[in-house]
């Protein structure tokens, strides 16, 4: 293996010398960019999904810095962006290059999204952050408020938001084609990684940390634990300390169209029925029911989420009669209205059918009211860059104003799983009103040196 060239930062040095300036010095974006002006872009997490995220963003600017806790990902991406400086700890990258970066993509494991995004925004950087926006409900609210305070342009990486089909489906629902919607059902093919019931405890072996992994940077704000390949790469999604499970992974995709179309906000209550809960990994399956209040003239909505396989070995799915004979794919959604059903057999809500089919023969779509993009994943970055250059955060459809509320709602399902009973939610005050024990899951503690 080639000799490592990654710059590292000890926790003692960071806390003792640079943390204060990095986390407390704040800058507003220095100027509005011209149409032809190139942004200086950095990527935090450049393997896996992060690889395409920085590639897409790099089409619209100059990639000046790359960061990844795994030097294999870092070195591979540096072959494309060979002028970029390399780091294994984003704190050091922001400390050294803060004023030299205009915008950043963040595509790390869920538990490090908020610390990286907070530090970037406080330094005046525009942020593209992968879904789910955060690891905890509290963090989502904090990121929304911070984006507003520092007047930065943001986007959450749920790329279906840029699909023309999703935007058309939103218009169809809002036009009243299927009548008032009172019920939504959403299902997923996740989990596709190890978790309960196969894994319910930490591994006991303590292998040496590979030389290509900065384990301290990977752990980030989570409680310390020994390195093990059960966590990195990819398998982190099934662990409470690092991931947000099937719900966090996919609901910000598959529930997106319904959430947007129905103008959902804070739910009143959330109840989860699931497989056995343990302290380390997500359960084998879960059915989560959200109750939303009326919103102006829109009626209350019950939204049900299905994940995993139930104890009888069957895929967890909504009632078959709602599908009107359609064979459900791995993931999809159903919006049940008084006059019919909008069915999306798609992770992103980017394709849809109106059911029953015979009732909607000859249906004429409403005139478009939402801007069209149609470029999917790369299109989301293009909208984000356009928002930056025009200094209009709303151009990015999944900006943190929208994405934070959405993420808060989604992650409350994980809170309900862990509490083990129906929880009543006071959204404006960020509080579960009937279960004090839920507070520990709304806001988590942070390891020293990684506070936000």
- pLDDT tens string 102-141: 999 999 999 999 999 999 999 999 999 999 999 999 999 9
Q: Is residue 25 one of the residues assigned to a domain?
A: yes
Q: What is the CATH number of the domain that holds 89?
A: 3.40.50.720
Residues 53 and 178 in one domain: no
Residues 38 and 137 in one domain: yes
Q: Is residue 22 one of the residues assigned to a domain?
A: yes
Does the structure show a pLDDT above 90 at 6? Answer: no
Residues 181 and 253 in one domain: yes
Q: Is residue 374 one of the residues assigned to a domain?
A: no
Q: Whole-number mean pLDDT of the chain?
A: 93
Residues 75 and 125 in one domain: yes
Residue 28 has a pLDDT of 57
Residues 29 and 94 in one domain: yes
Q: Is residue 431 one of the residues assigned to a domain?
A: yes
Residue 36 has a pLDDT of 72
Any bridge partners for residue 419, and if so which? none
Does the structure show a pLDDT above 80 at 281? Answer: yes
Q: Is residue 192 one of the residues assigned to a domain?
A: yes
Q: Is residue 212 one of the residues assigned to a domain?
A: no
Residues 292 and 179 in one domain: yes
Q: What is the mean pLDDT of residues 369-393?
A: 97
Residue 25 has a pLDDT of 42
Residues 51 and 177 in one domain: no
Residues 292 and 185 in one domain: yes
Residues 18 and 122 in one domain: yes
Residues 151 and 289 in one domain: no
Tokens for 260?
A: 């947007």
- For a pLDDT cut of 90, what percent of the chain falls above it? 91
Count of domains observed in the chain:
2
Return the top range by mean pLDDT from 23-27, 37-41, 418-422. 418-422
Q: Is residue 442 one of the residues assigned to a domain?
A: no
CA–CA separation, 169 and 350 (whole Å): 8
Q: What is the mean pLDDT of residues 14-43?
A: 59
pLDDT in tens, 224-257: 999 999 999 889 999 999 999 999 999 999 999 9
Q: What is the CATH number of the domain that holds 267?
A: 3.30.360.10
Residue 17 has a pLDDT of 35
Residue 67 has a pLDDT of 98
Residues 37 and 126 in one domain: yes
Residues 170 and 315 in one domain: yes
Residue 35 has a pLDDT of 66
Does the structure show a pLDDT above 80 at 199? Answer: yes
User: What is the span of the domain harbouring residue 34?
Assistant: 11-161+379-403
Rg (CA), the chain: 22
pLDDT in tens, 303-315: 999 999 999 999 9
Q: Please write down the HEC assignment for all residues of the chain.
A: CCCCCCECCCHHHHHHHHHHHHHHCCCCCCCCCCCCCCEEEEEECCCCHHHHHHHHHHCCEEEEEEECCEHHHHHHHHCCCCCCEEECCHHHHHHHHHHHCCEEEECCCHHHHHHHHHHHHHCCCEEEEECCCCCCHHHHHHHHHHHHHHCCCEEEECHHHHCHHHHHHHHHHHCCCCCCEEEEEEECCCCCCCCCCCCCCCCCCCCCCCCCECHHHHHCCCCCCCCCCCCCCCHHHHECCCCCHHHHHHHHHHCHHHHHHCCCCCCCEEEEEECCCCCCECCCEEEEEEEECCECCECCEEEEEEEEECCCCCECCCCHHHHCCCCCCCCEEEEEECCCEEEECCCCCCCCEEECHHHHCCCCCCCCCCCCCCCHHHHHHHHHHHHHHHCCHHHCCCCHHHHHHHHHHHHHHHHHHHHCCCEEEECCCCEECCCHHHHHHHCCCCCCCCCC
Residue 33 has a pLDDT of 79
Q: Is residue 118 one of the residues assigned to a domain?
A: yes
Does the structure show a pLDDT above 70 at 159? Answer: yes
């Amino acid at each position: 293996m080639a000799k490592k060239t990654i710059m590292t930062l000890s926790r003692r040095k960071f806390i003792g010398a640079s943390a204060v300036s990095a986390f407390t010095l704040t800058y507003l974006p220095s100027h509005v960019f011209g149409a032809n002006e190139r942004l200086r872009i950095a990527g935090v997490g450049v393997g896996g999904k992060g690889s395409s995220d920085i590639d897409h963003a790099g089409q619209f600017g100059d990639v000046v810095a790359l960061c990844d806790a795994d030097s294999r990902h870092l070195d591979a991406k540096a072959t494309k962006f060979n002028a970029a400086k390399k780091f294994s700890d984003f704190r050091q990258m922001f400390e050294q290059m803060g004023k030299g970066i205009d915008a950043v993509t963040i595509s790390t494991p869920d538990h490090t999204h908020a610390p990286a995004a907070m530090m970037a925004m406080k330094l005046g950087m525009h942020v593209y952050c992968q879904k789910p926006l955060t690891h905890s409900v509290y963090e989502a609210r904090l990121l929304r408020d911070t984006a507003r305070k520092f007047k930065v342009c943001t986007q959450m990486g749920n790329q279906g938001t840029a699909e023309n089909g999703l935007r058309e489906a939103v218009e169809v629902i809002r036009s009243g084609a299927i009548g008032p919607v009172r019920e939504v059902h959403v299902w997923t093919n996740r989990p596709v990684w190890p978790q309960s019931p196969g894994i319910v405890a930490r591994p006991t072996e303590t292998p040496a940390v590979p030389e290509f992994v900065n384990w301290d940077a990977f752990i980030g704000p989570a409680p310390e634990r020994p390195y093990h390949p059960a966590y990195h790469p990819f398998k982190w999604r099934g662990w409470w300390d690092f991931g947000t499970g099937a719900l966090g992974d996919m609901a910000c995709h598959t529930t997106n169209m319904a959430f947007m179309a129905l103008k959902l906000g804070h739910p009143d209550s959330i109840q989860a029925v699931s497989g056995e809960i343990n302290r380390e990994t997500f359960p084998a399956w879960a059915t989560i029911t959200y109750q939303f209040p009326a919103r102006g003239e829109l009626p209350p909505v019950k939204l049900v989420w299905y994940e995993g396989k139930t104890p009888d070995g069957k895929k967890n799915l909504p009632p078959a009669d709602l599908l009107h004979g359609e064979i459900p794919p791995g993931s999809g959604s159903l919006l049940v209205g008084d006059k019919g059903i909008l069915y999306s057999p798609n992770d992103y809500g980017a394709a849809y059918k109106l059911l029953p089919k015979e009732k909607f023969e000859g249906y004429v779509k409403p005139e478009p009211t939402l801007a069209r993009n149609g470029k999917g994943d790369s299109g989301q970055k293009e909208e984000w860059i356009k928002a930056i250059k025009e200094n209009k955060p709303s151009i990015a459809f999944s900006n943190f104003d929208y994405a934070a509320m959405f993420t808060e709602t989604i992650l409350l399902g994980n809170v309900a799983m862990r509490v083990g009973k129906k929880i009543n939610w006071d959204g404006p005050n960020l509080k579960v009103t009937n279960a004090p024990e839920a507070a520990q899951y709304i806001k988590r503690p942070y390891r020293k040196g990684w506070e936000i």
